[in-house]
Amino acid sequence: MDPSDTFLQQLTEHQTQLKGFILASLGHEADSQDVLQRTNLVLWKKAGEFRTDAAFLPWALGVARYEVLAFLRDRQRDHLIFDPDVVELMADAAQQQATELPDRLRALRTCLRQVPKKNLQLLNLRYVHGQSIRQVAEATGRTDDSVKSLLLRIRKRLGQCIEQRLAEQSD
C-alpha cells in the first residue's frame, strides 16, 4: 500500500483522538482548535517520515503534545485554563486514555440511547449548534442555573454509564 494512502486515511481516522487529546490538555475550545490545526500541518509536513508499518497514533500524539507545549511557550496567554504544569499532567492522563477512545465512543453510543428525547434535544443545542448555557437558557425559556445543572446531571449520568460499560468490557 502506498505511504500517502495510509497517511491520509490515518489522519482522517485519528482526528477525533487528536482533538480529544488536545482539548483534555488545554481545557479551552478555541485554543484546542488552533493547536489541532498546527498539529495537522506538522503531520502533513512530516508525512514523508511516516512509516506505514509504524503505529500512527503514538507518533501523532507525540507531535500533538509538542504542539501543545509550543503553544504554551509561544504565547503569554492570560486566558489559559490550565497552568503549564497542569497542562503537562493533563496531557499524560489524556495520552493514556487516547488508545481507549474508540471503546469510549462505542460506550457513549450505547449510553446515548438511554438519554430521554427531551434531554437529547438539550445536548443537541449545545453540541451540534454550539450554544452557550446562556443561549440554551434563552432558547428554552429556563434560567442559566437550571440549564447548567440539568446539563451536569445528564453528563454525569452519561459518564457513569460509559465508565460502567468500559469496566464491563475490560473484564
Partner 1 sequence: MNRHDSHSQKLDELDSLLLDALDGALSNTARERLNTLLRDDASLREHAAARLQEEVLLREELRTAEVAHLFDDEMPLPLHIELPEPEAYGSNHRWRWFAALAGCVLLAAAVRLVLVQAKTTPRALPDGLIAVDDQDNRFTVAQPDRLAVITRTINVDWQPNSLRPDMSGTLGPGHLQIASGLLQVEFFSGARLILEGPADFQLVSPMQAVCHYGKLRAMVPPQAHGFRVASAAIDVVDLGTEFGMQIDQDGQGEVHVLDGQVALRDPTGQADEQLLDDGAAVRFTSNGQFHEITSNRHAFIGDAYLSQLEANHQAQRYQIWHAESQKLRADPAALFYANFEDSDPTNRLVHNDAANRLTSDGAIVGCHWAQGRWPGKGAIEFKRISDRVRVNLPGRHRAITFVAWVRIEGFDRWLSSLVLTDEWRQGGLHWQLSDAGEIILGVHGHGNHFSPQVLSPADLGRWIHLATVIDPGTVTHYLDGRPVYTKRIRHARPFELNAAELGNWTPGPSITDNRIRSLNGRLDELGIFSRAFTDEEVAAMFAAGAPG
Q: Does 131 bind partner 1 (CB under 8 A)?
A: yes
Residues in 51-80 that interact with partner 1 by CB under 8 A: none
Nearest to partner 1 of 130, 141 (CB atom): 130
Give DSSP secondary structure letters for 28-82: -HHHHHHHHHHHHHHHHHTGGG--TTS-HHHHHHHHHHHHHHHHHHH---SS-SS
Region binding partner 1 by CB under 8 A among candidate stretches 49-57, 58-66, 68-76, 158-166: 158-166
Torsion of CA 98, 11, 130, 151, to 10 degrees: -20
Query: Which of 41, 46, 74 shows the shortest CA–CA distance to 59?
Result: 46
Q: Does 34 bind partner 1 (CB under 8 A)?
A: yes
Q: Does 121 bind partner 1 (CB under 8 A)?
A: yes
79-118 mask for partner 1 (x: CB under 8 A)?
--xxx-xx--xx-xxx-xxx--x--xx--xxx-xx---x-
Q: Does 143 bind partner 1 (CB under 8 A)?
A: no
